[in-house]
Amino acid sequence: MMNIVQYIYREVHYRIVQKNPMLKNNPARYNHALKIALSMKKALSYQFLSYLLFGFFSGMGVFVISSLDVISTYVVFLSIIPFIFAVFITSVQGSNVVYMGVFEPLKSLPLKLGSKYLSFYLLLEILPSLGIVLPTSIVIAIKYPLPGIISFFWFLAGIFLGHIIGLLILVLFGLKIRQRAGKSELLVNIVRAILFFLFFGIFYAFVYMQNYIMEHSGEWAGLIGRYSIIFPFSSGTIFHPLFSTILLILYLALLAPIYYLMIHRIWEGIMEPRVVFGEKEIKGYKIKSKPTIFTLIGKDMKILIRRTALLAGFLITLYIVFPQIFMVLSTGNFPILNAVIILIMIGAFSAGGIDAILKIDINAIEFLRTLPLRKRDFVIGKIISMSVVPWGIGMAILIIALYYNGLYALILIPHVFLLPFIASSVVMLYYFHYKEEDIGIPDLKKTDLVVLFLILMLIMGIISIPLIFHLVWVSEVVAFAIFLLLLIFLRR
Amino acid sequence: MKKYFEKIVLDGISFKVENGEIYGFLGPNGSGKSTTLKILAGVLKPTSGRVEVEGIYVVSNPVEVKKIIGYVPETPTLYESLTPAELFSFIGGIRGIDEKILKERVNRFVEAFEIGKYMNQFIGTLSFGTKQKISLIASFLHDPRVIIMDESMNGLDPKSARILRELLIRFRDEGKSIIFSTHVLPLAEMICDRIGLIYEGKLIAEGTMDELREKAQEENLEDIFLKLTKSKDDMANIIQALQEVL
């Protein structure tokens, strides 16, 4: 059993490293990345420890709480995190594993239910998330032993439930092979991307969770009491050990057959993927030839729309700035200065889409390298593709600002377009500043992301300085100067 | 020379392909054929040495070289979420092919390789053979002066293989340079003007069929290949060993 799970793990991570040409050109980094990626124990332990650090702070919060209602509410909220991990990793990573063809060599082997290996592999990828909740369970167990242990089992139950929901998503969306491009695919994929946001939205809420729980624990205690049999409220029953344990057993009894059913359906789907045809058969085909940059952007947009996981990453700027926009708008007015601050924030977070934008080409990078494509054109194409979503959000901000402030809001136009372009250019120049014409997918290391974040903050800080004196137009002149400077770098 | 980390995979390879010539590049699996062809196409860089295509240095000017080359890789790695029609449009845009000419060429190739019914399907859903046809068309669309093909007959149905063979002969007659690797030795024997034999990263023999026959003292290309790659003597022992376990 573990041999096959290990094979899947190694194969998936090997392919991820292999598809990174930037690593291939750097033997030392390649070997290091491969060493870490192929060692299941090392990689999972590293992830677990990272999450444990996060979980440690969360556990410390519980340590100082004495109210049982507050602790129950805390457990309810916390149990959502491994649940979301399980849903997300199962559906997205599961779909990727099948899409990569990792199961192809297994198809010809006499395996009865190969999907159980996929399930175990995915559970292995999910397990490090326990690091976030484990310290809390330990802290509760120190103070109240039995509820502490039960809380841990509820976290495990959350993972199992999330895993089953992820498997259901996989059965419904992840194992189909769509044959033709249809117009409805954009809508369906946007809906899916929004669902991903909702999952992540709960992570965002975690930041505010502690304060919120302190203030509203009384209301939640009532809610937990009322809906105590429904997850995640059920995990708030830890201080009624007998009831909570029976509930856990009932959950397990209910989920086990569903799990088995899902595993069966997934294996059928892997062995014989369901082919979905587009809305209608198109008889002719269109061949167009556009200038290089437009060709590159068109290709990026088509692929983003067709691959949900990429679309979710592409729209990440929207997800990051949405709560801020919501908070500002909820005040009932929208002064120009607030709009500028949001536009600067949009600009700074425009870089968030880089991962999705670069992953578009990861499978076809060798093909791309056979074409007479200049690195400069590739980089400019990517900058514009990366700026599409921030430009869209910026336009929405502009419209709202026009509604509240009249035509004066037109002063925002340069910032709407310049800031995302500046941020995207900085990111792309950072990764593609090497001399050679080779096009590759850069290795996005965490340290690079931190350095990039600091650079972007510095640039946005410089652009923001005139705003201290309410000089929006000066800020725009500064932005324009930086834009011109970047254009010179891009030309070179 | 080409090194992968510490391992030397190509060593001292030197050959020239003339205009209007089909050059067959043969060798056992893992001998360095694909690496050599990728270096010629500007996809990989040599660790040392000089590679020139039509007088342009590949290492220092890969983009200019790629403009005149049509490269067909061993395994088609295409954008799986695009349709063939979208992929050909993409290539047309990147290569700056006039839309009218592009349409005309696409239509002709699509008809010849009979892939019209797949033009609006995602490439990821197509069979290996169909992907191979798409990869071939993609590399011919700009009417390249130099064609580099890495085992491109793989997965093709007999009709398409025949069309491709005739096409290569026609390209040669038009003065194009063609270099291709293959394991189909009768094909190489039939259409190649010269053949290079690569073994363990070294070019061990090169010449016309007659020159190779003379060198190996064997009649057909299969025997020449086995003899020069020192595989012939092992064959009886290998087959004997297999018979013992099966």
Tens digits of per-residue pLDDT, B153-181?
888 899 999 999 999 999 999 999 999 99
Q: Give the residue carrying structure tokens 């330990």.
A: A138
Please report the pLDDT score of residue B167 as a whole number.
Answer: 93
What confidence category does residue A323 fall into, taking pLDDT thresholds of 50, 70 and 90? low
Cα-flanking dihedrals φ and ψ of residue B130, to 5°? -65, -40
Please report the pLDDT score of residue B209 as a whole number.
Answer: 86
Please report the pLDDT score of residue B72 as a whole number.
Answer: 93
Q: In angstroms, what separates the C-alpha of A377 from chain B's closest C-alpha? A: 10
Q: Is B48 helix (H, G, I), strand (E, B) or coil?
A: coil
- Read out DSSP for B185-220? HHHHHHH-SEEEEEETTEEEEEE-HHHHHHHHT-SS
Structure tokens at A410: 């037109």
The answer to whether the Cβ–Cβ distance between A370 and B121 falls below 8 Å is no
Q: How many CB atoms lie within 10 A of CB A73?
A: 26
Residue in B closest to A370 by C-alpha? B43
The answer to whether the Cβ–Cβ distance between A181 and B83 falls below 8 Å is yes
The answer to whether the Cβ–Cβ distance between B99 and A363 falls below 8 Å is no
Q: Please give the ipTM for the structure prediction.
A: 0.85
Q: In angstroms, what separates the C-alpha of A291 from chain B's closest C-alpha? A: 6
In chain A, positions 454-473, which contact chain B (CB-CB < 8 Å)? none
User: If you average pLDDT over residues A323-333, what whole number do you get?
Assistant: 70
| pLDDT tens digits, A196-229 | 665 555 545 554 555 566 566 666 666 666 667 7
The answer to whether the Cβ–Cβ distance between B79 and A178 falls below 8 Å is no
Chain B residues within an 8 Å CB radius of A22: none
Distance CA A279, CA A186 (A): 13
Among B66, B76, B98, the residue with its CB nearest the CB of A371 is B66
Please report the pLDDT score of residue A179 as a whole number.
Answer: 55
What confidence category does residue A31 fall into, taking pLDDT thresholds of 50, 70 and 90? confident
Question: Residues with Cβ < 8 Å from A94, sequence gap 6 or more?
Answer: A118, A122, A166, A167, A170, A174, A266
A470: left (phi over 0), alpha (psi -120 to 50) or beta: left
For chain A, what percent of residues have pLDDT higher than 90? 23
Q: How, if at all, do strands B202-207 and B194-199 pair? A: antiparallel
| pLDDT tens digits, A267-307 | 887 777 665 555 445 568 888 888 999 999 999 998 888 77
Please report the pLDDT score of residue A279 as a whole number.
Answer: 47
Which strand ranges, in their side-by-side order, compose the sheet holding B202-207?
A: B69-72, B146-150, B177-181, B21-26, B194-199, B202-207
The answer to whether the Cβ–Cβ distance between B63 and A366 falls below 8 Å is no
| pLDDT tens digits, B187-208 | 888 899 999 999 888 888 889 8
- Any B CB within 8 A of A178 CB: yes
| pLDDT tens digits, A419-459 | 999 999 999 998 887 777 778 777 666 677 778 888 998 99
Chain A residues within an 8 Å CB radius of B99: 287-289
Residue in B closest to A297 by C-alpha? B90
Measured CA distances, A434 to A17, A37, A137 (Å): 20, 26, 48
Q: In angstroms, what separates the C-alpha of A443 from chain B's closest C-alpha? A: 18
Residue in B closest to A99 by C-alpha? B124
The answer to whether the Cβ–Cβ distance between B122 and A291 falls below 8 Å is no
Distance CA B19, CA B180 (A): 14
* pLDDT at A367 exceeding the cut of 80: yes
Structure tokens at A324: 């801020």
Distance CA B87, CA B131 (A): 11
In chain A, positions 266-295, which contact chain B (CB-CB < 8 Å)? 275, 278, 282, 285-292, 294-295
Question: Residues with Cβ < 8 Å from A257, sequence gap 6 or more?
Answer: none
Residue in B closest to A369 by C-alpha? B43
| pLDDT tens digits, A172-188 | 766 555 555 555 666 66
| pLDDT tens digits, A140-156 | 999 899 999 999 999 99
A329: left (phi over 0), alpha (psi -120 to 50) or beta: alpha
Q: In angstroms, what separates the C-alpha of A273 from chain B's closest C-alpha? A: 10
In order of their start, the domains of chain B are 2-245 (3.40.50.300)
Give CA torsion, residues A240, A245, A247, A252, to 10 deg. Answer: 160
Question: Residues with Cβ < 8 Å from B50, sequence gap 6 or more?
Answer: B57, B59
User: If you average pLDDT over residues B219-230, what whole number do you get?
Assistant: 80
Chain B residues within an 8 Å CB radius of A288: 89, 92-93, 99
Most confident of A114-123, A295-304, B3-12: A295-304
Distance CA A314, CA A305 (A): 10
* B122 close to A179: Cβ distance less than 8 angstroms: yes
- Any B CB within 8 A of A249 CB: no
* pLDDT at B129 exceeding the cut of 80: yes
Residue in A closest to B119 by C-alpha? A285
A and B: number of Cβ contacts within 8 A = 123
Chain B residues within an 8 Å CB radius of A294: 93
Measured CA distances, A444 to A34, A50, A161, A313 (Å): 15, 18, 32, 14
Chain B residues within an 8 Å CB radius of A27: 5
| pLDDT tens digits, A331-343 | 778 888 888 988 9
Please report the pLDDT score of residue B104 as a whole number.
Answer: 94
> Considering only A345-359, A369-383, A459-473, which range has the smallest mean pLDDT?
A345-359
| pLDDT tens digits, A461-472 | 999 999 888 888
Chain A residues within an 8 Å CB radius of B125: 177-179, 275
> Considering only A104-113, B64-73, B128-137, B209-218, which range has the smallest mean pLDDT?
A104-113
Structure tokens at A97: 């594993």
Chain A residues within an 8 Å CB radius of B116: 285
H/E run at residue A68: helix A68-88
Please report the pLDDT score of residue A20 as a whole number.
Answer: 60
Residue in A closest to B105 by C-alpha? A287
Q: What own/partner pairs with CB < 8 Å and gap ≥ 24 does A145-154 have?
A: A146/A241, A147/A71, A147/A238, A147/A239, A147/A241, A147/A244, A148/A238, A150/A238, A150/A241, A150/A244, A150/A245, A150/A248, A151/A75, A151/A235, A151/A238, A153/A248, A154/A75, A154/A79, A154/A234, A154/A235, A154/A238, A154/A244, A154/A248
- Any B CB within 8 A of A302 CB: yes
Among A177, A178, A287, the residue with its CB nearest the CB of B106 is A287
* pLDDT at A36 exceeding the cut of 90: no
Q: What rounded mean pLDDT belongs to chain B?
A: 88
The answer to whether the Cβ–Cβ distance between B99 and A288 falls below 8 Å is yes
The answer to whether the Cβ–Cβ distance between A288 and B94 falls below 8 Å is no
Question: Residues with Cβ < 8 Å from A244, sequence gap 6 or more?
Answer: A147, A150, A154, A234, A237, A238
What confidence category does residue B137 fall into, taking pLDDT thresholds of 50, 70 and 90? very high
Alpha carbon of residue A328 to chain centroid: 25
How is residue B178 annotated by DSSP? E
The answer to whether the Cβ–Cβ distance between B43 and A370 falls below 8 Å is yes
User: If you average pLDDT over residues A339-357, what whole number do you get?
Assistant: 85
User: If you average pLDDT over residues A45-59, what whole number do you get?
Assistant: 84
Chain B residues within an 8 Å CB radius of A373: 63, 66, 94
User: If you average pLDDT over residues A10-26, what whole number do you get?
Assistant: 70
In chain A, positions 3-62, which contact chain B (CB-CB < 8 Å)? 27, 31
User: If you average pLDDT over residues A3-27, what whole number do you get?
Assistant: 74
* A12 close to A89: Cβ distance less than 8 angstroms: no
Distance CA A150, CA A232 (A): 14
What is the number of H-type helices and E-type strands within chain B?
10, 10
